[in-house]
Structure 1
């Protein structure tokens, strides 16, 4: 698209390729913690798209969409790195919760209540709920689970940027999807509602809080706890 003076019409190009930015953002956010906002990724992706429009050279023999996709993903990954989106401390707290849930499920033969999980961890209920708010529902499958105990500085590049080599591709497997559906059915009723509204109806935390009649921070706690329960069940799978 060009202007009357033969120059690339940036506004028209931005409008034409903005759906590409949204699609890439939704693909990426499915692999990230709940505290990463889709609007933030889209905003950063639009910056990447603008950069691609300014740098694109048709003479290099590369299609614009291919070139733009690389620039958009690169901008999103840079933003995630800069935000330190999932620290080692956060991952440890999440795993501590999962371990407590697993031990209680083995002993009780049912999904443990919040107060029981807190007691198992040697915490009072308020401190436990505060921890849930801090971990903010980290993702269902950790990217570093695929890279060993020592971590991997390049896992964002290798697993989030590369759709063909990411752990979320496991969810495309029929048995894995079936296990996930069955695990969600075993969640306490309110947590089932949260997961349904967040992932199936694409509602944000504020909207879910309004439906349930609780605070947004409480929804965040319920989401974090749901993720911990699901990860325990999926490990058994």
Structure 2
């Protein structure tokens, strides 16, 4: 891939880990969910701690990110005896509330970011907490599906021995499809991940078409990996069900 060299440090990224965001303010929830999805995480968002508790009872999450100013936030601490697995928790908190709130939350390993927060701080603390659970990506880990490989450390992609010359948008799209292999992604989901907001259908169709030409037009006859589910979206995988 071609790009302009930068001396800014790369932001921490995920590798498909599942995060639960508990935030009541719509603008905070939208910023966190969009940022973390763009960084490679799978996100579920709820507006109340009670809803978060219900989800934690039923489903597995790698980390919980909580706005500690929610009025019912201590409900999360009461789930401790009933959860088979306690994910780490990252708190968004005012300094004035730190001593009062933190001891009451007992989900698992915990850390906090003071409000107002910086996106880079959120990404860094999430990665550190996940690394402590074994759910974080190893440094320089490559994502792969059959002979398709993405190396996030170098921002490079290849199909077998063939290097793929991808634009940043094409790379983000391929990464999103790869992390969610065998799962249909809607155009809205793709637009939010690639650009941070939904784009018109034609823009996404053109992006997918360009990526297909680079990934699937293989002179060696390798099987196509990017597919359309008409009326629903796009997915990556073997059409014959092969792993």
TM-score (norm: length of structure 1): 0.31
Structure showing greater Rg:
1
Query: Which is richer in helix?
Result: 1
Query: Which is richer in strand?
Result: 2
